[in-house]
C-alpha cells in the first residue's frame, strides 16, 4: 500500500501549450500501478491546459476552485465535487476562470 499526501509529491511544469499548470503524479507506473495513473493538477487563475485531443480518455474530479471545461460544443463552468469523463479523441481543455487556485484529480490509462 502506498500512502502519500499530494503535497509531498514534487510538482512538474506541464510543458508547452499550457499556462500556470503544475502536475503531481501521486500514483504512477513507478508505484507498480498496472492499468491507470492518478495526477493532481494545480492551475493558477487565468491558467489552462492545452486545447487538444488524444486517443486515451481522462477521468477528472474537481477538488477546489472553479473550472471552465472547453469542448467542441463550447464551454461550461463547474466547481468542486464535479466528475468529468472525457472519451478518447474528444477535444478538450480546462481553464481556470476564477480568482483562486483550481485543483483537480486527472487520471489517465496506461498507453
User: Which residues form the catalytic set?
Assistant: 106
| Least distance to a second copy, CB of residue 67, Å | 10
Angle made by CA atoms 59, 55, 90, in degrees to the nearest 5 = 65
Is 75 among the residues that bind a second copy (CB under 8 A)?
no
Chain centroid to CA 94: 8
If the CB atoms of residues 13 and 76 are measured against a second copy, the closer one turns out to be 76
Applying CB under 8 A, among 14, 38, 43, 106 the residue interacting with a second copy is 38
- Within 8 A by CB and 6+ apart from 53, the residues are 89, 90, 91, 92
Q: Which three cell numbers stand for residue 61?
A: 474530479
Is 76 among the residues that bind a second copy (CB under 8 A)?
yes
- Burial of residue 84 (number of CB atoms within 10 Å: 0-12, 13-18, 19+): middle
Give the number of residues in contact with a second copy, rule: CB under 8 A.
Answer: 38
Q: Which residues in this chain contact a second copy in the complex, by CB under 8 A?
A: 1-7, 26-27, 31-36, 38, 40, 57, 59, 61, 63, 69, 71, 76, 78, 81-88, 90, 92, 105, 107, 109
Amino acid at each position: 500500500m502506498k500512502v502519500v499526501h499530494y503535497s509531498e509529491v514534487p510538482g512538474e511544469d506541464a510543458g508547452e501549450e499550457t499556462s500556470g499548470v503544475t502536475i503531481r503524479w501521486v500514483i504512477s507506473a513507478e508505484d507498480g500501478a498496472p492499468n491507470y495513473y492518478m495526477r493532481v493538477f494545480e492551475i493558477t487563475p487565468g491558467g489552462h491546459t492545452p486545447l487538444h485531443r488524444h486517443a486515451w480518455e481522462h477521468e477528472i474530479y474537481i477538488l477546489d476552485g472553479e473550472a471552465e471545461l472547453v469542448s467542441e460544443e463550447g464551454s461550461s463552468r463547474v466547481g468542486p465535487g464535479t466528475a468529468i469523463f472525457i472519451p478518447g479523441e474528444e477535444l478538450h481543455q480546462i481553464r481556470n476562470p476564477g480568482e483562486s487556485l483550481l485543483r483537480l484529480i486527472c487520471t489517465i490509462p496506461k498507453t
